[in-house]
Amino acid sequence: MRLPLTGATIGRLPFAAETLTVVLLVQGATGSFADAGLVNACYSLGAAAGLPTQGRIVDRIGQTRVILVATAINALALIGLILLAEDGASMPAMCAVAVFAGFAIPPLGTSIRTLWSELVPDPELRQSAFALDAVTVEVAFIVGPLLAAVVIGIASPAAGVLMNVLLSVLGSTLFALSRASRSWRGQPHGLGLAGPLRSAGVLTLMGVGAGLGVAVGGVELGMTAVAADAGVRQLGGTLLAAQAVGSLIGGLAYGSRTWRTPGARRLGLLSLALLVSNIPLVFTPSLEATFPLALLSGFALAPTVSVLYVLLDSVAPTGTATEATGWVLTSFVGGASLGTGLAGAAVHASGPHAGLAVGLGGAILAAAVAWLWQSRIALAPPVDPSPSGEQPFARVHSK
């Protein structure tokens, strides 16, 4: 499992740094942050559409071919975006290429989470595996932007995008060519176009994911606004890193223990802890105080995400594991985009604390869904895809 984990960790670095590099590339070419934000939004929309689509294909034909083809398309599209920006191309052209690049982001996150389910059959050990996975995401969001900032400072935003392309190709290739990825095979299902969306449990976890996305997007913009309001915009990234460090610590602490509390109840408790830990951040009195409060606000993030994916493994219909993960990630990406947009409007109207309040609102949404619809994920079995009620291709999902 070390090779696919290494590949996924490397491949996630560019995803964490993509926003920074793309925004600065387009802003440098057009002189407008509004244009840069629009191109980045198109990239995110492409990713939101591509994650479940690629997931469905992976479930049908396996991981390796999909990852390698997506990696090649994503790399070519990003190189095309560099050429368009350097050539002063029109906004419609850059937006179209950005959508294409986003749609073809290699599905490493969805694929490795599916591998955990196959390679770690013991439910208790799988909890630790998902916690480790969440920790690697936080590592990517600490290291990726820092690497990009160094490359941009030494060379240019275009060089930063190229660095992301190279890391993506390296990480995706290592992952796709690993024995675990090459041997993984999906299973047929008869759920039709709706696929995993027929499962009430999957829909509930998508609701939690959307709330978490709003929380992350709102807090990220709000903390950036706090730094800008203090006259040190460049420290915004440091505040985000502080939250990521808190999440990393929380993920390591969570994954190092064995938990007996039922998963659905644990999700409710952790989402409530996330809500409570974000309250002080909304009332931060100064930039200096924001750093420890950002660290605090991250502690429950990785544990909440890890138990969410443990539960997804139990409620996703047989044969739809990767697509179901893609839908949850799509709900998170959509929530983050919504949270960023709402927080931007709130900051413009009332100041940085209003943006942080939007993030708190997202945490409230996640906790509310986790508690109110707990029964949908507590005992709900995966949707039976076969008309007879039998599962000839059965892969039993551990509760």
Domain total in the chain = 2
| pLDDT of 67 above 90 | yes
Predicted pLDDT at 392: 27
Q: Where does residue 44 fall: left (phi above 0), alpha (psi -120 to 50 degrees), or beta otherwise?
A: alpha
pLDDT at 50 over 90: no
| Same-domain check for residues 148 and 226 | no
pLDDT for 386 beyond 70:
no
Higher pLDDT, 267 or 59: 267
Most confident of 30-34, 132-136, 158-162: 158-162
Tokens coding 370? 């986790």
Give the model confidence (pLDDT) of 175-219 as tens digits: 999 888 888 776 655 555 666 777 888 889 999 999 999 998 888
- Considering the domain boundaries, does residue 273 fall inside one? yes
pLDDT beyond 60 at 288:
yes
pLDDT one-digit tens code per residue, 230-252 = 887 667 777 888 888 898 898 88
Q: Compute the distance between CA of residue 233 and CA of residue 388 in angstroms, rounded to an integer.
A: 61
Residue 156: its pLDDT value, please?
Answer: 86
The two structure tokens encoding residue 300: 């429950």
Cα separation of 173 and 110, whole Å?
Answer: 16
Specify whether 238 is located in the same domain as 312: yes
- The Cα-based distances of 304 to 89, 212, 291, 300, 352 in angstroms read 42, 9, 21, 6, 26
pLDDT of residue 98: 92
pLDDT at site 309: 81
What integer pLDDT is reported at residue 36 of this predicted model? 78
Classify residue 392: in a domain, yes or no.
no
- Report which of residues 52 and 78 the model is more confident about: 78
Co-location of 7 and 153 in the same domain: yes
Q: Do 349 and 228 share a domain, yes or no?
A: yes
In a 13 Å sphere around the CA of 332, the CA atoms on its Cβ side amount to 19
User: In this predicted structure, what is the pLDDT of residue 194?
Assistant: 60
Averaged pLDDT score across all residues of the chain: 82
Give the count of beta carbons closer than 10 Å to the beta carbon of residue 105: 25
Highest mean pLDDT among 257-271, 355-369, 382-396: 355-369
Q: Is residue 245 part of a domain?
A: yes
Q: Are residues 178 and 288 in the same domain?
A: no
**Residue type for 164, please?**
N
What distance in Å separates the CA atoms of residue 390 and residue 370, rounded to the nearest whole number? Answer: 30
Q: Are residues 18 and 163 in the same domain?
A: yes
Average pLDDT over residues 323-342: 83
Which of 294, 221, 214, 176 minimizes the C-alpha distance to 19?
221
Pair 207, 137 in one domain: no
Cβ(303)–Cβ(131) below 8 Å: yes
As given in the structure block, the two tokens for residue 282 are 């909304």
**Burial per residue of 48-73, b for 16 or more beta-carbon CB atoms within 10 angstroms, e otherwise:** bbbbbebbbbbbbebbbebbbebbeb
393 inside domain: no
Give the Cα separation of 302 and 157 in Å (integer). Answer: 30
Q: pLDDT at position 380, please?
A: 47
Are residue 135 and residue 238 in the same domain, yes or no? no
Is the confidence at residue 387, as pLDDT, over 60?
no
Q: Indicate whether 204 belongs to any domain.
A: yes
Q: Which of 186, 217, 250 is the last residue of a domain?
A: 186
Please check whether residues 101 and 202 belong to one and the same domain.
no
Among 165, 186, 207, the domain-final residue is 186
pLDDT tens-digit map of 101-141: 999 999 887 788 777 766 666 666 766 776 777 777 778 87
DSSP assignments along 163-208, one per residue: HHHHHHHHHHHHHHTSHHHHH---------TTGGGG-HHHHHHHHH
Domain-embedded: residue 142: yes
**234, part of any domain:** yes
Pairwise CA distance, residues 131 & 108, whole Å: 16
Of 40-49, 116-125, 280-289, the range with the highest mean pLDDT is 280-289
pLDDT of residue 358: 92
Q: What percent of the chain has pLDDT over 70?
A: 87
Q: Does one domain contain both 133 and 67?
A: yes
Residue 153 — φ and ψ, nearest 5°? -65, -35
Say how many CA atoms lie within 13 Å of 110 toward its Cβ. 34
The reported pTM is 0.75
Tokens of 93: 């052209």
291-322 residue pLDDT tens: 999 999 999 998 898 889 888 877 877 777 77
Q: Indicate if 108 and 9 belong to the same structural domain.
A: yes
Q: How far apart are CA 215 and CA 343, in angstroms?
A: 10
Q: Are 340 and 220 spatial neighbours (Cβ–Cβ below 8 Å)?
A: yes
Alpha helices (H) along the chain: 2-30, 33-61, 64-86, 91-103, 108-119, 123-154, 157-176, 179-183, 200-229, 236-255, 263-282, 287-298, 301-315, 321-350, 352-372, 375-378
CATH at residue 310: 1.20.1250.20
Output the CA–CA distances (angstroms, integers) from residue 148 to 10, 16, 290, 322, 337, in the order listed. 13, 10, 24, 29, 22
**Sign (positive or negative) of CA dihedral 331, 172, 91, 21:** positive
Whether residue 169 is contained in a domain is answered as yes
Task: Give the chain's radius of gyration (CA, Å).
Answer: 20
Q: Which pLDDT does position 388 carry in this prediction?
A: 34
Domain range spanning residue 207?
Answer: 197-379
Non-local CB neighbours of 113 within 8 Å, separated by 6+ positions: 130, 133, 309, 325
Decide if 228 contacts 237 (C-beta within 8 A).
Answer: no
Residue where one domain finishes, among candidates 186, 210, 238: 186
Predicted local confidence at residue 5, as pLDDT: 82
332 with 265, same domain: the answer is yes
